[in-house]
Amino acid sequence: MNISVVGTGYVGLVVGVCMADLGHNVTCVDNDEAKISALLAGRVPIYEPGLDQILERAVREGRLRFTRDLGAGLQHSRHVFLAVGTPSAPDGSADLSGVFAVAGQVASQADGPVTLIIKSTVPVGTADKVRAYVRERTPHAVEVVSNPEFLKEGAAIEDFLRPDRIVCGVANDEARRLMESLYAPLVRTGKPILFMDNRSAELCKYTANAFLATKISFINEIAALCDLVGADVDAVRRGAGSDSRIGQRFFFPGAGYGGSCFPKDVRALVDTAKQYGLTMKVVSAVEEVNEAQKHRLADMVIARFGADLSGKRIALWGLAFKPETDDMREAPSLTVVERLLAAGATVVAYDPEAAHEARRILGDTIQFATRPLEAVRDADAVVLVTEWNEFRSPDLAAVAKAMRTPVLFDGRNVYVPEEARAAGLEYRCIGRP
């Protein structure tokens, strides 16, 4: 099948590359000249394990192409995935300007029927508004399908090709048949395509992300209580998470969530409810707890060394909001850096993939190391912010020896306290004695 994908950000590029890998002929469209030029040269602008190899193969075999020309995409296919960003507006609502801009362009350039498949995360009612918007701008039939993505950064290829479920909001049988055909290769193992109305499909995405964010904020609050009462949050979460109704996934304390999805989707869900006169108390609290949690590591450093960190050299291990990505959007590390710099500290950081993006955001306000041990040399403390695999089993004795003051703040509870202390480190963590 011939399809087009408008938007080559994280979601759009993964969708386009994976659809091509399934045998579809795909044209990816983006108005960012630098991004398209990089893709045409075979350079992937984001870090996602496995994406570059699949992209190279799909391009080589002629199933994947890139262009800035939306008209060329529409000539190639009348089935268009819309995958543009929907960032948070200042009031917390989702900014849909990109969605409507692309929908309008599709309508104005269409010379026949088009199926517009909204992959972007959009508030409830967006498909209805887009449907009305495009019908005013073209005499041709334009069907609108809601097809939210459920991709985890760092595991997006696996999530797309082996999904737990595929959600499709459709308004008629023709759209349903199209989506069944598009996704047929992915459901042969019995995983379902869940068909529903557009509004329910739109709300599915926000519900899933808000619930997962709730698990994170909840266990972070429990960790704070563990610190006060002398309990061990790892034992608590294992005991509670062993209940099949709760589960262990996303049930780990840490420095708070970040990235391109959870923060903006939680805010957008609260804003949507507000528009209908509903105050979502639980979801609002989730964001409040998370924002406070982002300060937790800096608070721990200041509690140990004092409010004035002048002359202190603090090393950060990890900058990306999670492992296996270079995404710095709303990363907890940014809050940690801001607080430490404001207190007068010198900050040196190491991240295996996100350093380039961190440099773009932070400039020369911090120093960047090229290896983990280089970052901790002569440091007064090292703060684990992002639990990349290479940080899980370091030579802790070598770390302690390289530091001026061997203090380790474990923001992800990765290390065994007894082992860290035996290596000569003063060890502090979250919610564990």
Hey, which residues are catalytic here? 261
CB crowding 72-89: b at 16 or more within 10 Å, else e: ebbebbbbbbbbbbbebe
Distance, CA of 190 to chain centre: 27
Question: In angstroms, rounded to a whole number, what is the distance separating the alpha carbons of residues 227 and 301?
Answer: 16
Which whole-number Å values give the CA distances from 316 to 40, 122, 313, 334, 416, in the listed order? 35, 35, 10, 11, 19
Contacts of 47 (CB under 8 A, 6+ apart): 324, 325, 326, 353, 354
Contact 70, 44 (CB under 8 A): no
Q: Return the HEC string of the chain.
A: CEEEEECCCHHHHHHHHHHHHCCCEEEEECCCHHHHHHHHCCCCCCCCCCHHHHHHHHHHCCCEEEECCHHHHHHHCCEEEECCCCCECCCCCECCHHHHHHHHHHHHHCCCCEEEEECCCCCCCHHHHHHHHHHCCCCCCEEEEECCCCCCCCCHHHHHHCCCCEEEECCCHHHHHHHHHHHHHHCCCCCCEEEECHHHHHHHHHHHHHHHHHHHHHHHHHHHHHHHHCCCHHHHHHHHHCCCCCCCCCCCCCCCCCCCCHHHHHHHHHHHHHHCCCCCHHHHHHHHHHHHHCCHHHHHHHHHHCCCCCCCEEEEECCCCCCCCCCCCCCHHHHHHHHHHHCCCEEEEECCCCHHHHHHHHCCCCEECCCHHHHHCCCCEEEECCCCHHHCCCCHHHHHHHCCCCEEEECCCCCCHHHHHHCCCEEECCCCC
